[in-house]
Structure 1
């Protein structure tokens, strides 16, 4: 396995949303209370515990709008949480899931066709390695296999 990093949403971006900043669609994030189900926070990469407030908002995990810059819903803890710090380990929240989508992107933030795949969460490491071996791929998105929601970014470690 190659060395890679699992990068959560940047703290500056999380704080923007947690402080009421507008989302990618120009709306304030919605606040809800977790029922204890699968509510993955994209900043700490942990599930929001039952009874805790969380935000639902539209996020575009790309630097600028363009045809491949998908915008979709994400969840965040409503209160500040620490950013995921175990960058070289598969986030534990994925391990309770059955499947996840992985897809490679190039230096222009465009999908590299032929890299997208849905795999079991026990295959994240080896599949991300295989996708990152493609010379056109700069990073990989981990996304929900059922809803296509952005989870985190995977890239080679420096």
Structure 2
């Protein structure tokens, strides 16, 4: 099995960049990056110092339900190419570790699947979790703040 690190869909990014509202009904805020620490959820790269970016509330789930967490994310203010590599760890994943957690086909957390995982072990853990029939996809989240980073899907 191979895994794909899935970025925020381009239509979502374009909507937000073109005046669309975030998950809370607010317009995204604009800020200027002071360097690493502002990962774009569309290209999955860090936003360079001096570049404009959007700060917004994002819910990476198709509908409201008890497990549909919403939180802050960053997005390049200008268009960027969506990340599309398979089996390649996104460049923005530079912390020593992240939470990797499984979700079922109904977008509910699969209890017992979440763990703080060293960054170098994310792909192997993803393959192990996605081999389970009860797990449809995974989230990579900050181990410090629980912020959504990206999704992992099986190929």
TM-score by length of structure 1 reads 0.95
Asked whether the 8 Å contact 2:138–2:152 carries over to 1, the reply is: yes
Q: How many residues align?
A: 155
Which residue in the other structure is 2:10 paired with? 11
**Displacement of 1:37 after TM fit?**
2.5
Which residue in the other structure is 1:125 paired with? 123
1: distance between equivalents of 2:87 and 2:14?
23
Which residue in the other structure is 1:81 paired with? 80
2: distance between equivalents of 1:134 and 1:146?
27
**Displacement of 1:131 after TM fit?**
1.3
After TM superposition, the structure 1 = structure 2 runs for residues 29-108 of structure 1, keeping only pairs within 5 Å, are 29-94=28-93, 96-108=94-106
**Deviant stretches of 4+, over 3 Å:** none
Q: Deviations over 1:84-137 (max 9, x none)?
A: 02133111221x211111000000000000000001101101111121122100
Which residue in the other structure is 1:151 paired with? 149
Q: Root-mean-square deviation (CA), in Å?
A: 0.8
Which residue in the other structure is 1:28 paired with? 27
More divergent stretch after superposition (85-94 vs 11-20):
85-94
Which residue in the other structure is 2:134 paired with? 136
SS of 1:93 mapped into structure 2: coil
